[in-house]
């Protein structure tokens, strides 16, 4: 037999000792007001003594509510699949806190964007709702999102907040953040600001950031030169390549606004290799404020997204959907973090 049969106590055991019925135990422990104070205290005391804990499966089965949220990471399939975007990893902390505060369990999965999510998580009652995290080509997963909507799966995702979003969306104020970055660089006397990142609508968040930069330039009556925009997806390699392309094209620039810190780091590295000094020759500003951002030399000026609010809002918004309450606002302001890479 090996294993002890110490018979995990059930609500019946408690009921017996308390001299009440099982339903009363259930009610007492859930704080129903149709149990007297005295009885509740007695029951709670016994529960503590017996080291009782509600069986999650029975509870969820009966109540049709799992009090669990599934956090799903999806990204464009990477070759190794090992490295997760550090920004989302950081968000993990904030989301776990938000769920823990509400007594929710958090299920996580890194599986690629699939069309079976609603089956795997919602239909099977594993989770009451999904949080979707990931960059990636928007158009690629649009159809999946529609499927989720069609199957009435509750979900929220992190991304660019638009009026025509499919499903609930929470995200940073990317346009405002782009403007912040632009204004900062302009205030430093920079005039020719390169933007490294996809600027098309397949990557709405990046596009928003670029748009914000444009707004800042416009406000300062500076021209927007399309030659200064170079595609870069998210890796260091992309950033490096983009800088090399810029230099090879002979385009003049005195600043770089990278759509992510990884891109920025790659860019700085390429600049260094080409004999350019940061920030003297070229100021660099990134986005996300990943841990490595403060470790580069010079340390990277960047935009910091409010992760605490992010997790909180994602969870709150999801819960609101599940409980059919009105949803909270969904755009979160971002903050400029000035470090060495933009001078000063």
Partner DNA sequence: AGGAATAAGGCATACGTATACCCAAATTAT
Partner DNA sequence: ATAATTTGGGTATACGTATGCCTTATTCCT
Residues forming the site for DNA (CB under 7 A) = 8, 10-12, 19-24, 26-27, 29-30, 33-36, 39, 52, 54-55, 58-59, 61-64
What, of DNA, a copy of itself, none, does residue 78 touch, CB below 5 to 8 Å by kind? none
- In Å, how far are 92, 126, 277, 278, 333 from 69, measured between CA atoms? 13, 8, 47, 44, 25
On whether the CB atoms of residues 307 and 93 are closer than 8 A, the answer is: yes
Contacts of 276 (CB under 8 A, 6+ apart): 282
Tokens 């996300």: give the residue.
288
Intra-chain end-to-end CA distance of the chain, in Å: 71
Q: What is the dihedral of CA 295, 299, 303, 305, to 10 degrees?
A: 20
On whether the CB atoms of residues 263 and 197 are closer than 8 A, the answer is: yes
Binding string, 239-268, against a copy of itself, x = CB under 8 A? --------------------------x---
On whether the CB atoms of residues 132 and 155 are closer than 8 A, the answer is: yes
What, of DNA, a copy of itself, none, does residue 4 touch, CB below 5 to 8 Å by kind? a copy of itself
**Identity of the residue, 26 or 342, whose beta carbon is nearer to DNA in the bound complex:** 26
Asked if 4 is part of the footprint of a copy of itself (rule: CB under 8 A), the reply reads yes
Q: How many residues bind a copy of itself (CB under 8 A)?
A: 52
Kindly state the smallest distance separating residue 269's Cβ from a copy of itself, in Å: 8
Which of 119, 143, 219, 277 touches a copy of itself by CB under 8 A?
A: 119
On whether the CB atoms of residues 71 and 133 are closer than 8 A, the answer is: yes
Asked if 53 is part of the footprint of a copy of itself (rule: CB under 8 A), the reply reads yes
Site for a copy of itself in 155-214 (CB under 8 A): none
Kindly state the smallest distance separating residue 115's Cβ from DNA, in Å: 20
């Amino acid at each position: 037999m090996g294993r002890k049969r110490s018979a995990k106590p059930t609500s019946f055991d408690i009921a017996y000792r308390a001299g009440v019925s099982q339903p009363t135990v259930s009610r007492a422990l859930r704080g129903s007001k149709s149990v007297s104070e005295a009885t509740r205290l007695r029951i709670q005391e016994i529960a503590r003594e017996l080291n009782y804990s509600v069986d999650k499966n029975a509870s969820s089965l009966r109540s049709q509510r799992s009090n669990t949220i599934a956090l799903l990471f999806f990204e464009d399939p990477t070759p190794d699949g090992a490295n997760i975007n550090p920004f989302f990893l950081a968000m993990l902390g904030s989301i776990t806190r938000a769920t823990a505060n509400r007594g929710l369990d958090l299920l996580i999965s890194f599986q690629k964007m699939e069309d079976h999510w609603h089956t795997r998580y919602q239909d099977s009652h594993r989770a009451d709702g999904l949080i979707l995290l990931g960059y990636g080509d928007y158009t690629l997963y649009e159809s999946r999102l529609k499927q989720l909507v069609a199957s009435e799966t509750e979900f929220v995702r992190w991304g660019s907040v638009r009026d025509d979003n499919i499903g609930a969306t929470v995200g940073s104020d990317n346009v405002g953040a782009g403007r912040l970055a632009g204004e900062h660089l302009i205030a430093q006397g920079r005039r020719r600001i390169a933007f490294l990142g996809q600027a098309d609508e397949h990557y709405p968040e990046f596009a928003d950031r670029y748009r914000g930069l444009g707004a800042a330039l416009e406000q300062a009556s500076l021209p927007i030169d399309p030659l200064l925009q170079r595609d870069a997806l998210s890796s260091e390699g992309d950033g490096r390549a983009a800088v090399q392309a810029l230099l090879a094209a002979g385009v003049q620039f005195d600043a770089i606004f990278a759509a992510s810190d990884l891109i920025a780091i790659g860019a700085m590295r390429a600049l260094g290799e080409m004999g350019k000094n940061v920030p003297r020759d070229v100021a660099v500003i990134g986005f996300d404020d990943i841990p490595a951002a403060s470790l580069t030399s010079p340390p990277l000026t960047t935009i910091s997204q409010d992760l605490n609010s992010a997790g909180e809002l994602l969870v709150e918004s999801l819960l609101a959907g599940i409980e059919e309450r009105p949803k909270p606002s969904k755009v979160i302001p971002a903050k400029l973090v000035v470090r060495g890479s933009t001078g000063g």
